[in-house]
Amino acid sequence: MGGAWKIGNIEEGLKLREEMLSRGFPLSIISYSVLLSCLCKSARFEEALILLYEMEALGLKPDVITYSILIHSLCKKGEVHRAILLYEEMCLRRICPNYFTHGAILLGICEKGNISEAREYFDNLITSNLVEDIVLYNIMMAGYVKLGNIAEAVQLYQKLTEKKITPSIVTFNTLIHGFCKSSKLEEAWRLLDTIKLHGLVPSVVTYTTLMNAYCEVGNIDGMLELLREMEAKAVMPTHVTYTVVIKGLCKQWKLQESVKLLEDMHAKGLTPDQITYNTIIQCFCKARDLSKAFQLHDEMLLHNLEPSPVTYNVLISGLCVYGDLKDADKLLLSLEDQKYKRILCAAVIV
């Protein structure tokens, strides 16, 4: 029964449930929790709630895991108000929420941009000693960083260190992102040493965030130095890391180095995405090497990577500005999807 649900066949799972109930075979809380999770992943919240109350009607008591699945899923879909109502319901039933439940609600409020409400909820948890976990601090700090308020994020970091709460690498990555977003690269760089003082190891996210910040300000040497450091420390770059480096190289018109890096990605089993290819294709178009730009387009197809509307916009714009208008028209006509063509035509006209 659980197997049908795990492979995502919700309808089969619901059918099995009906058969079991009709034959007088009760379902366990675990079975209900699995089915609830599957329904939530498909955003079928009304059916999930019906199952929740069906459990109670059958004499099964939903536990913190059951409620947390629903609350987390509702928050993830932006249904924070409904999640809070469920949270209040579980508290009335004397089911104690755990840090996962609190974290889901806090994250949901932050994602909505209601930072004042999120801070009030966070402070209530801390002052009431209900839960004090680094994950909650990280969520709250990320909420401030998302809104560009690095000062409040730093204050929270100072507060958790005063309380002897051990920061995680996520804590520092959040702060580094905040400093980079605020163009405070020196402060972001200094956090690398702070990470090491706490016995932590900078992650690929740490390095990639810093590298992107250096790329944005044109410090390509600093970006490449970070790439060498992370490779020396056996921190494996991701396709996002390589895309950042390629973007930096393209800014300095180092096109051959960019192509070499693209080849290295394939050799290491990393899959470049549309953004990676679009970055290089655009650079070759601006360099008036349309032949190479189209060669990269063909390479995308060879690797079963579908070019995006942006890819074709870049190619058509390149043909219009540096190439032949007839070739641009041919490319446009070759795109069979009419909706696709309208998007491209509008972009080219603009």
How many CA atoms lie less than 13 Å away from 341 in the CB half-sphere?
11
For residue 152, the enclosing domain spans 133-201
Last residue of a domain, one of 201, 234, 250: 201
Rounded to an integer, what distance in angstroms lies between the CA atom of residue 66 and that of residue 252?
Answer: 54
Assess whether pLDDT exceeds 90 at residue 3. no
Instruction: Tell me how far apart the alpha carbons of residues 96 and 23 are, in angstroms, rounded to a whole number.
Output: 34
pTM value is 0.82
Of all residues in the chain, the percent with pLDDT exceeding 90 is: 52
Residue 160: inside a domain: yes
Residue 49 CA to residue 285 CA, distance in Å, equals 54
Give the separation between CA 220 and CA 265, rounded to whole angstroms. 19
pLDDT score at 344: 54
Confidence of residue 294 (pLDDT cuts 50, 70, 90): very high
Residue 229 located in a structural domain: yes
Query: Rounded to whole angstroms, how far apart are CA atoms 67 and 92?
Result: 13
The string of pLDDT tens digits covering residues 97-142 is 888 899 999 999 998 889 999 999 999 888 876 666 899 999 999 9
Q: What is the mean pLDDT of residues 287-314?
A: 92
pLDDT at 337: 56
For residues 191-204, average pLDDT: 93
Last residue in a domain, options 257, 272, 287: 272
Residue with more model confidence, 43 or 271: 271
Lowest mean pLDDT segment, chosen from 159-168, 302-311, 336-345: 336-345
For the segment 18-33, what is each residue's pLDDT rounded down to a tens digit? 777 777 777 778 888 8
pLDDT reported for residue 53: 85
- Of 23-32, 65-74, 231-240, the one with minimum mean pLDDT is 23-32
The band of 219, judged by pLDDT with boundaries at 50, 70 and 90, is: very high
Closest CA to 314 of 342, 341, 279, 269: 279
256 falls within a domain: yes
**Tokens 């070499």 belong to residue:** 260
Where does a domain end: 217, 239, 272?
A: 272
> Tell me, what's the pLDDT at 146?
95
Name the average pLDDT for the chain.
87
Q: CA end-to-end span of the chain, whole Å?
A: 55
Instruction: Tell me, yes or no, whether 264 and 207 share the same domain.
Output: yes
Q: Is the pLDDT of residue 35 over 80?
A: yes
Q: Which two tokens stand for residue 231?
A: 């490779």
- The most confident of 171-175, 213-217, 258-262, by mean pLDDT: 171-175
Residues 169, 140 contacting (CB under 8 angstroms): no
Domain count, the chain: 2
Inter-residue contact 331 to 316 (CB < 8 Å)? yes
Q: What percent of the chain has pLDDT over 70?
A: 92
226 within a domain of the structure (yes/no): yes
183 & 143 share domain? yes
Q: How far apart are CA 195 and CA 205, in angstroms?
A: 13
Max mean pLDDT among 17-21, 31-35, 42-46, 226-230 falls in 226-230
* 263 falls within a domain: yes
**103 belongs to a structural domain:** no
